[in-house]
Amino acid sequence: MALVHIDGDDLVVVIEGLDKLWALKSSLTIPLANVRGATADPGIAAERKGIRAPGAHLPGVITAGTFHLDGEKVFWDVKDASKAVVIELADERYARLVVQVDDPRATVELVENALR
């Protein structure tokens, strides 16, 4: 699971617990200027992930780490797709962050309010 918060002009995603091990990351900091938006998307888990490098993918259990799909890098940290949030990025290492959060609606609202 991930914690998403705003720190000044940055979006910060903190990876919690053993997910750090699977995702091979403990946090990501993205300038808000490079965040295009966020959506709650429980159907994202059904999408094709691409090539895992590095990370873990056990269908129905966890998807975590960096995945390469159609020339883009996507960061994943999802166990429960019903709590997945997709954060779209521009001019960053990752094109999207797909993370599981406690409250998807509140997380989307937090990101969208920070972008206004």
Instruction: For residues 31 and 11, give the distance between their C-alpha atoms in angstroms, rounded to a whole number.
Output: 6
Q: Tens of pLDDT along 51-88?
A: 888 888 888 889 999 999 899 999 999 999 999 999 99
CATH code of the domain covering residue 38? 2.30.29
Regarding pTM above 0.75, the answer is yes
The number of distinct structural domains making up the chain is 1
Decide if 96 contacts 89 (C-beta within 8 A): yes
Q: Residue 18: how many CB atoms within 10 A of its CB?
A: 10
Print the domain residue range for 106: 2-115
Q: Tens of pLDDT along 81-101?
A: 999 999 999 999 999 999 999
Q: To the nearest whole percent, how much of the chain has pLDDT over 90?
A: 78
Residue whose pair of structure tokens reads 């990101």 in the numeric block: 111
